[in-house]
Amino acid sequence: MGNCIICGKPVDGLVCAFHQEDVAFEFEGTSAKELTASRYYRGTVDGYADFGLFVDIGDHVTGLLHRSELDRRLESLDLEPGDPVYVQVLSVRDNGNVDLGWSIRQEDREFRGKIIQTPDGEVLPEERETDSSTDTSGTETETSDDEPAASSASAGEHTTDSTDSNDSSTEPVDSSGEATDTHSSDHAAGAQAVTTTPADEEPTTLNRSSVEAIENQVGSVVRLEGEITGIRQTSGPTVFELSDETGTVECAAFEEAGVRAYPDVELEDVVALEGEVERHYGDLQVETEALTLLDGEDAEVVTSRLEEAIEQEAKPTIVAPLVEDPAVEAIEDELVEAATIIRRAVMESRPIVVRHSATADGYVAGAAIERAVLPLIREKHTRDDAVYHYFERRPLEGQVYDMDAATGDVSSMLEARERHDEQLPLVVLVDAGVTIDSADGYELLDIYGVDRLVIDDSRGDAEITDQVSVAVSPSLVAEEDTIDLSTVTSSVLAANVAAHVNDDIRGDLEHLPAVSFWGTVPPAYAELAEGAGYDETALTERREAVALESYYQSYKDKRELVADLLFTDDGDLAAHVSEQFRAKLETELETARENLSTHEVAGTQVSVIDTAAFVHRFNFPTTTLLLDELHRRDEGAVTIGLGDDELHIRSDASLNVREFGHELDERAPAAGTRVVGGRDGYLEFVSGEREAVKDAALEALESLLE
């Protein structure tokens, strides 16, 4: 019986079942049957095939990483045969074939521990190093450092003598330079480091440096003051994430292998830290030599400095919409407030989670926020992979942030806090979440104190403003008869927010509003896109390409692919995908138009399509996109799509779906009609009353059109 190297729980082996996925395994076995499913293994690239990547796990086993398991295009992988790669073993088949999954963690330091799996059992790398670092006479030799910023001293000691080594005290020094007794003065091998000062001399204190400045101080011992914004325990050192007014850096502190250093230090503590600046796998990192909790006036000084800097940095540098648009100008205050909240989250090293609908408008809008935030994260953090750690874009099913979505988000964020001491994120709803249908989801976030904001062009409910920090939605600040809402999409709103989040990338955003309009692009946005080099064909191809890609694996963000389509493509990729879009759409449209039934209702042509019978529900295009296109081609008509238990309606008139649902419910009371998504939403009903709903829908529509 041993202890888990991550949590210390008694366990047979080296890691408990809960933390298996936090460990990187080196495989030294000889048979695929020795592999353990769900574990992450370090492998090497063996070669490519059209359908995926072959990866050698150890010296004797090869597995297949199928292209469907990748979060990017196979062609975009910058990997050559022999390159190291981390993969997850999904399954080992009876015939010995190994199915692999992609690991978003591709560096040693991103795992909390490392274990070598041998045919005879499991060992820690440091145990293997200890054996190899002693020669036949028992003399220790230099060993390599496989753990993030572990001590270069063989026993893990970290000491900095401020005077001659023959005259030193073992008392630690706090931020004021006075000796304290926060750590034991009895230092055995592997004990925590402290800064020492001779008893007969005045204590010396390093001048405070900043995270921004340490890039030019590699090899020097520096003093940093700031807030602890993250704590990660590895099988070697404890890695503290320290943020000051200029940036964030990881600081490794070593007690002994897998043991928590400075256990009294917690998230959001204000500290003074001294250590040597190093480069670890290309990233800046500080090897901690002394870490002191600050309190009282010392802590207030640091906190005030941080708050002042954050307040100043969080405010947008320029306040101006992308073009003159009355609908956007009406919500200028909300735009600026939303941008400030997002910028502040970056400054505070809080993760940002963007949830958006899995539509073309949703993906374009989400990509606009992403384009603005990622450069700010790169500036704030010294880790190269910080853009994946501190920003995540997750598509939603539909345009409602319901309990299902909120429960998933809360579970993920609580697990991240439990495993990695990660701060709770800022949740940004885009092209979704502006109606009371999302209230339950917001309330769940509120229980945990999670900040949230919404950016949505739908006609929202005033009650939702009490559920979020800010709601960027013109319908909530202006009446329909006083402002033209047809010039607004969620991408228009998100692009304007993004321009205020990061003015440096404003030029990258100028074509995005025009990409999001399926109908006629408002002249102001068409001119803006043309000035950025995007003509009507380029806009159409990108719109259609994003619409098609948003359908496939709609639960994934497809970060790199979407960025290629919207920002870096010279047109070849978008044109190719757009061609597929049109071919698939035209095929479905031909079938649908052959099966439309038309009705004359209050002088208006109403087209009805049985989507349960005449639409391929699990192929592209989606039912909603197909109905949109049918309606655009039958200008002036009303289009109804009737499924097994859903009814979607499209109308050029400003139809209130809630009113339509009320009228339908009166005529088919047994159908259990429910409106989802507010005035712009759709209806759900029980499938057993489908025929009654069909008849009642035409009667209800006649009442509204008269």
Query: Are 663 and 704 spatial neighbours (Cβ–Cβ below 8 Å)?
Result: yes
Contacts of 180 (CB under 8 A, 6+ apart): 171, 172, 173, 174, 292
471-472 sheet: strands from edge to edge: 391-396, 352-357, 426-430, 452-455, 471-472
Q: Tell me, what's the pLDDT at 480?
A: 66
CATH 3.10.310 domain position(s) in the chain: 595-705
CA distances for 231 relative to 112, 238, 239, 289, 580, angstroms: 11, 7, 6, 17, 47
593's tokens: 């138009």
Q: Is 61 helix (H, G, I), strand (E, B) or coil?
A: strand
Contact 247, 257 (CB under 8 A): no
- Cβ–Cβ < 8 Å for 499, 468: no
Q: Determine how β-strand 646-650 pairs with β-strand 674-676.
A: unpaired
| Amino acid found at 592 | A
SS3 419: helix
Where the chain has pLDDT below 70, the residues are 1, 129-205, 480-481
Residue type, 8: G
pTM: 0.67
User: Is the Cα torsion angle 680, 596, 622, 576 positive or negative in sign?
Assistant: negative
pLDDT at 245: 87
Q: What is the CATH number of domain 595-705?
A: 3.10.310
CATH number belonging to the domain at 160-309, selected among 1.20.1250.40, 3.90.550.10, 3.40.50.300, 2.40.50.140: 2.40.50.140
Q: List the CATH code of the domain at 2-123.
A: 2.40.50.140
Name, in order, each residue with C-beta under 8 angstroms of 540's C-beta and a sequence gap of 6 or more.
578
pLDDT of residue 530: 96
| DSSP one-letter code for 11 | E
State residue 568's pLDDT score.
Answer: 87
| Alpha carbons within 13 A on the beta-carbon side of 160 | 22
| Omega cis (within 30) before 621 | yes
Distance of alpha carbon 310 from the chain centroid? 22
Q: What is the DSSP string of 269-324?
A: -EEEEEEEEEEETTEEEEEEEEEEE--HHHHHHHHHHHHHHHHHHHS-S----SS-
179 forms beta bridges with 173
- Sequence-distant (6+) residues with CB within 8 A of 692 are 668, 670, 671
Taking each helix axis from N to C end, the angle separating 536-551 and 572-594, rounded to the nearest 10 degrees, works out to 70
| Angle between helical axes of 296-314 and 332-347 (0-180°, round to 10) | 140
Choose among 373, 374, 355, 351: nearest CA to 420: 351
Residue 482 contacts residue 356 (beta carbons within 8 Å): no
Please list the residues that pair with 252 across neighbouring strands: 239, 287
What are the structure tokens assigned to 207, written together?
A: 């001048």
Beta-bridge partners for 650: 639
Instruction: Map tokens 């989801």 to a residue.
Output: 441
pLDDT digits (tens, 9 = 90+) for 250-281: 999 998 888 899 999 998 999 999 999 998 77
CATH 3.10.20 fits 315-510, yes or no: no
- Is the distance from CB of 237 to CB of 370 less than 8 angstroms? no
- Give tens-digit pLDDT for 353-387: 999 999 999 999 999 999 999 999 998 887 778 89
- Is the Cβ–Cβ distance between 176 and 205 less than 8 Å? yes
Report how far residue 332's alpha carbon sits from residue 137's, in angstroms, rounded to the nearest whole number: 75
d(CA 211, CA 230): 15
Give how far Cα 518 sits from Cα of 50, 515, 568, 633, Å.
35, 8, 22, 12
Residues of the chain with CATH 2.40.50.140: 2-123, 160-309
Q: How far apart are CA 415 and CA 566, in angstroms?
A: 33
Q: 97-125 burial, b for 16+ CB within 10 Å, e for fewer?
A: ebbbbbbebebbbbbbbbbbbeeeebbbb
pLDDT score, position 204: 53
How far apart are alpha carbons 474 and 484 in whole angstroms? 10
Helix (H, G, I), strand (E, B) or coil at 101: strand
Residue with tokens 């990695």: 420
Q: Which amino acid is at 299?
A: A
Specify the amino acid at residue 171: E
Q: What is the pLDDT of residue 141?
A: 41
Q: What's the pLDDT at 174?
A: 41
Residue whose structure tokens are 């600046």: 277
Task: Assign 3-state DSSP to the chain and report helix, strand, coil percentages, each to 5.
Answer: 40, 25, 40
